[in-house]
Amino acid sequence: MSRVRADEEEYWHSSKFRAFTFDDEDDELSQLKESKRAVNSLRDIVDDDDDDLERVSWSGEPVGSISWSIKETASGSTSSLDGRDSSPQKGSSSYAALPKQASSYSLSSLFKGEGFLCATQLCLSLSALTDTGVKNYAPELRRPKAEYKDYSSDWSPKDTVRRMQRGKVCSLERFRSLQDKLVLLDEAVAGHDGNVITAVLIFLKRTLRREILFRELEVRQVALCHLIHFLRETGEQKFLLDLLRFLDRTEEVALSQYREHLNIQDVEKRREFLKGCIGLPFSAEDTSHIQDHYTLLERQIIIEANDRHLEMAGQSELFRKYPRKASILNMPLVTTLFYSCFYHYTEAEGMFSSPTNLKKTFKIPDKQYVLTALAARAKLRAWGDVDALLTTKNWLGYTKKKAPIGFHRVVEILQRNNAPVQVLQEYVRLVEDVETRLNLATKYKCHDVVIETYRDLKDRIQLTAYKCKVERGSAEEEKINSILNNMVRNYCF
């Protein structure tokens, strides 16, 4: 008590101003006292009312100001680090551990030896102090408390699913027990949101053993279908095969293994792989398809090797006139048939590249064969082959035109390949439906067919109207005039 009383007496009886000495710079206590006296001298500048005076700390700066808070925080952290341990203390903020920066601005330096300092200069000095020092120590603003709920671990499975449906960030790591994970999956399925279901399945796939996951999904068919689709899309073949084997879906396992041929680029390796797929537990229909696929690829390898040799040697006029644009390897059956009808149409049935051989081997229907062969021969403008393709003989030896695809489609294919009018008219006449025949004949300007059809219908009005659509003085106009005259003559008699 005596020491405190002595300090108070010294404070109240000390002089307001002291002489300047160099020793004061080294004496910390004298600096504190001088700072206190300098701050108290502000009463004469600001106001005489003691109640309006700003409280000042012994360091010479206003209590509660930014500069004072910074220095107090920095000094406190420095002393705690020096006095106890160099390791960071629990609960201390990140900016408290920064080193204390010496500022060139202080109230003691402003007042020392200057007598008076105007209020404007003081404000400018304090603003400069704020601009330079606060940026290094100002703490980060906290998020609103409502935002922290997005990362809360107190959400129930139902609330978590709802938030995921709204696109909110939700951590699924809090669901650690198997029961909680299954409830979460059931809630996701009940929400009927495929994205949420897939997200939960990815979480379960990562955190559960395969046996447990497969067992639980076996009784949850909706989630199971989502997982199978996800695995197929992402290409996780091994995981998918394990799941299908667990479910005893042998045919799906075989089909999944068969799909692996798409990733094999080497033709010989793909052929060997397909050969091995024939023994997989497919259904009878699928086994037939796998066998055909293997046989087709085997044929394509043989045809490709022979045709490449002919093309490089220049021995075939057809290859010189129509060079191949692409390899036939790995092409579909219809494309292979078109290729054979284009380059190997006249070959004997015993040749692998013969169209008839392909038709017999792979049981190609007549409609598909005629459609493909017609397109190939029409592209080559081989009209004789087209006529032979559509001509059949009965058991009495009579010939007739027959088109399994319909003559209206024959006309369309021929017209797309720029067939002459004479060729088009021959097949337009064979169209049985009168209205379709007239439409095709008018569309492709087969005048003879139009005139003959109206003649058979004895429609003088349509003949007279169609006479205006042909050229004057042409053979078609003369034909129409002749038919009209005959109609008039026959009507008179």
pLDDT digits (tens, 9 = 90+) for 361-408: 999 999 999 999 999 999 999 999 999 999 988 777 788 899 999 999
User: Sorting pLDDT into bands at 50, 70 and 90, what band is 256?
Assistant: confident
Cβ contact 282:290 at 8 Å = yes
Radius of gyration from C-alpha coordinates of the chain? 49
**pLDDT range class, residue 118, cuts 50, 70, 90:** very low
Q: Which residue has the higher pLDDT, 129 or 310?
A: 310
pLDDT at 53 exceeding the cut of 60: no
Average pLDDT, the chain: 77
pLDDT, mean of residues 191-211: 93
**Once rounded to an integer, what is the mean pLDDT over residues 463-482?**
86
Output the pLDDT for position 353. 93
Sign of CA dihedral 263, 268, 274, 276: negative
**Mean pLDDT lowest for which of 92-106, 336-350, 465-479?**
92-106
Between CA 324 and CA 166 the distance in angstroms is 56
Burial profile 283-311: b = 16 or more Cβ within 10 angstroms, e = fewer? eeebbeebeebbebbebbbebbeebeeeb
Mean pLDDT, residues 261-287 taken together:
89
The residue type at 396: L
Tell me the mean pLDDT in the region 192-210.
93
Q: Output the pTM of the full model.
A: 0.60
Closest CA to 442 of 417, 418, 414, 411: 411
Mean pLDDT of 147-151: 48
Q: Is the pLDDT of residue 80 over 50?
A: no
Nearest residue to 101 via CA among 59, 125, 129: 129
Q: Is the pLDDT of residue 171 over 70?
A: yes
Q: What's the CA gap between 436 and 430, in Å, rounded? A: 11
